[in-house]
Amino acid sequence: MSAAADTVSGRITGLADKCVDVADGNSASGTQVQLYDCNGTPAQEWTNPGDGTLRAFGKCLDVRDGSIADAADVRLWDCNGTPAQQWVITEAKDIVNPAADKCLDVRAYNSANRTPLQIWPCQGAANEKWNTSALGTSSGTGPQNPVPVPTGDGGSTSGFVVSEAQFNQMFLNRNSVYTYDGLLAALGAYPAFANSGNDTVKKREAAAFLANVSHETGGLAHIVEQNTANYPAYCDAGQPYGCPAGQAAYYGRGPIQLSWNYNYKAAGDALGIDLLNNPGLVESDSSVAWKTGLWYWNTQVGPGSMTPHDAMSNDAGFGQTIRSINGALECDGKYPAQVQSRVDSYVGFTQILGVDPGGNLSC
């Protein structure tokens, strides 16, 4: 068979049925490769010439600078025969770069137009699945059976249903205080968390907790409340123990944005940590920060009728966790955009974990 006959071409579709696209139809080397509405233009026409490459405009899909690191960008580049331009299309609908042993991935699970594509550890999630039927099921001379893609448990050896790779995928731009190891260390304070019921229930609860704290902290980017003008307001001087750390010391901190002197007192008492006198521990100690989030999740009803832990472990649905955290301001049509933001994060995280999100998502 001639080389011309070996070459097949077509579009590659992924998250939200959008296309792998060369930004702005620019054929120059270095142009970003991204997700974009399918439009039938040459910028979305990819060929598989049978040499392990995927090409548009006669140039190759390339991992920037030959990187094998998580989150390395992909781009268009002159074909040069390097491992950065080798791809294997698997029957599981992954597109794998064997040199990095990582999958072509839509960054941050974002289906918006112009979201960059990258390489990331293969998780089996929807943002790493591609319809390449026009290009065949395997590409090039690379391995036809690459390293197995992890299933929904992510290969975690900690006993927690979220692996470190999955956690990193959920929170690409997190504050350095929010470490995975800190989260693992905090789990012992509430052993029932994400550890009640079957694997589906466990994964849904982990996704629900992480989705809510992601919303509260801008994707774990913020360890403290951003509006400093509010700081002096969180001292309830009517409490018998007062505010020993100072009038403005009890502002929002940590993954659930713990605030008010009485909440620092209650959380500290429950955890055996003197947070009333040392509230700064919540922003400096990763384990303490995570423990305060788990304290609220597992013990506090808030404006709802049940704790978030009970909502997820008893299959009441993600919407009830929103109600328990901020229902007075967001639920019952008060702030639907905020509710939807939480739901979107939850659905995205359940997909990363490989589990159905269940029903009753909104409040």
Amino acid 156: pLDDT: 46
d(CA 304, CA 311): 10
pLDDT for the residue 363: 95
Task: Give percent helix, percent strand, percent coil of the chain, each to the nearest 5.
Answer: 35, 15, 50
The residues annotated as belonging to the active site are 216
pLDDT (tens digit per residue) in 110-169: 888 999 999 988 888 888 899 987 775 433 333 333 333 333 334 444 589 999 999 999
pLDDT for the residue numbered 83 = 87
| The predicted structure's pLDDT at residue 136 | 55
Q: Which residue has the tokens 């995975």?
A: 180
Would you say 250 and 281 are in contact if contact means Cβ atoms under 8 Å apart? no
Could you give the CA distance from residue 295 to residue 277 in angstroms, rounded to a whole number? Answer: 18
Half-sphere exposure of 360 (CA within 13 A, CB side): 13
Angle (CA) 161 280 284, round 5°: 50
- From the number of C-beta atoms within 10 Å of its C-beta (0-12, 13-18, 19+), residue 145 rates as exposed
Q: Are 3-128 and 164-353 the same fold in CATH?
A: no
| The pLDDT value given to residue 8 | 60
Amino acid at 272: G
Are the C-beta atoms of 290 and 183 separated by less than 8 Å? Answer: yes
Domain boundaries, given as residue ranges, for the chain: 3-128, 164-353
Return d(Cα 142, Cα 89) in angstroms, integer: 10
Q: Would you call 317 helix, strand, or coil by DSSP?
A: coil
- 157-193 residues labelled b (16+ CB within 10 A) or e (exposed): eeebbbbbbbbebbbbebbebbbbebbbbbbebbeeb
Q: What is the DSSP string of 212-225?
A: HHHHHHTTTT-SB-
CATH architecture, domain 3-128: Trefoil (2.80)
Taking alpha carbons only, the member of 129, 107, 123, 91 closest to residue 15 is: 129
What single string gives the DSSP state of each residue in 28-66? STT-BEEEE-----GGG-EEE-SSS--EETTEEEEEGGG
The phi and psi torsions of 171 (rounded to 5 degrees) equal: -130, 80
pTM: 0.59
pLDDT for 292: 97
pLDDT under 50 in the chain at which residues? 1-7, 137-157
Listed in sequence order, the residues at least 6 apart from 178 whose beta carbon sits closer than 8 Å to its beta carbon are 171, 217, 220, 223, 255, 286, 289, 290
Who contacts 351 (Cβ-Cβ below 8 Å, separation ≥6)?
Answer: 109, 125, 126, 127
Fold of 164-353: Lysozyme (1.10.530)
Q: According to the model, what pLDDT value does residue 111 have?
A: 84
